[in-house]
Structure 1
Amino acid sequence: MKRTLIAAAMLLTATAVQAQPLSKVLYARGMWTVATGLSNQGNRLCSLEVRGADRQLYIKNFAGLKQLVVHIFKDGWQFPEKVEVPLTFTFDQYPALPTIGTGNTIVGGISFVEFQVAPEFVVEFLTRLAKGSRLIVNFQSGNEPAWEAILGGSNAAVQVMAQCMLNLTPATQPYSSTQPYSGKQQRPTQPFGGAKSPQATAKPATKDDGGI
């Protein structure tokens, strides 16, 4: 049986979220930002952010941890603490990567979904992100439509993120959004519970290494 690339959401709590801007921006172009600094608990981290009109996706690596932590935010999301949020990530024509995210809410009532990428799959995950043309995130429950991101400019951002990770934890794992983006919503959607929204599938696209 194939092992899933994305590990089920583990136990990093909502307090690990970096609520304040990181102290040093390493790369910023279009919708992509790579930064480094300290978490709310004073832990060093690297963060790759992809920002859309009403949503953000963060890929983080904390000092001392080999896995990646992924946080997904959208305006209007509100859900119970620790609710399970099943979802899949699909890069281009690769098979969909399933995981069970965990819902969290931080100060101010801001809700987000968290999951982790297991250490043994970090290189593959970042390689797909860097070299891919399209990413589709399908939420398996609730009424949140699929998110589709054209990955133009991802390679440069991932390279900077990889170097940040090497600097964060010298002599550990080497490395070799995505614009979460969709149209306006009539009312807030939620990625859990209720009726299932139609899934999208990845289609071939031309890779653009320029900005979004």
Structure 2
Amino acid sequence: MRGFLALCLIGMLPLPAAAQLQPGQGQVTGRYGVWTNFTSLSVASRPVCGTFAMDRDPSGEMRSFSIKFYGGDTHLTIQVFKNSWRIPGETEVPFEYRIDSGERIFGTARGYGDKVEWLVDITTMQEWLRMFMFGNSLRLTFGNGNEPPMVLSLSGSAASMSALARCVQQVRATHRG
């Protein structure tokens, strides 16, 4: 299972220094509007580039939306976390998201405990990141269960996604497998 980056990261650390991290550790590399970029090492010691933003559900509980690239992968991993979730492993979770009034995008995530995740293929990554860069808000809903919609500001997303893309390029250039 991939390592979970604690959401209370502190400090600033450039990507090359990430190699000094221990598996499961991470460092903040930038804050852009509501988005926080980071580097880390997975529990399998693979370099990770990522960014996340958070919102509160109507009851006040925090949720996080993460975009991650694991060295050696050919996709981005999108993860949504909520501490109170207890999702049986490998549960299929249909979702829909929309940026501003754009096209509705449908998919199926996999649930694991306190998170759901899905993949975005690297071949479509540039277009996918571009959607985030020029939008104002993202609305995410899940097709089953009773989870209220997640609405995230995309304030700062252009700078965050640009930094994420640079990190991915660095990792891809230095990490094979």
TM-score normalised by L of structure 1: 0.67
CA shift in 2, pair 1:35/1:19, >3 Å: closer
Aligned counterpart, 1:191: none
Aligned partner (choices 155, 159, 173) of residue 156 of structure 1: 159
Mapped partners of 1:83, 1:77: distance in 2: 12
Mapped partners of 1:139, 1:18: distance in 2: 22
1:120 partner SS: helix
Contact 2:26 / 2:38 at 8 angstroms: preserved in 1? yes
2:101 partner SS: coil
Give deviations 1:129-162, integer Å, cap 9, x for gaps.
1111121101111111111122111111111111
Shift of 1:77: 1.0
Aligned CA-pair RMSD: 1.9
Aligned residue identity for 2:159: A
Q: Which has the higher helix share?
A: 2
Aligned residue identity for 1:16: R
1:113 maps onto 2:116 in alignment: yes
Mapped partners of 1:28, 1:34: distance in 2: 6
* Alignment length (residue pairs): 153
Aligned residue identity for 2:130: T
1:18 partner SS: coil
Aligned counterpart, 1:17: 3
Aligned partner (choices 81, 90, 100) of residue 89 of structure 2: 81
Q: How does 1:1-212 map to 2 (within 5 A)?
A: 15-19=1-5, 22-53=25-56, 54-105=62-113, 111-170=114-173
Shift of 1:103: 0.6
Query: Which consecutive residues of structure 1, in runs of 5 or more, have no partner in the other structure?
Result: 1-14, 106-110, 172-212
Mapped partners of 1:18, 1:150: distance in 2: 23
Mapped partners of 1:129, 1:85: distance in 2: 22
Shift of 1:93: 2.5
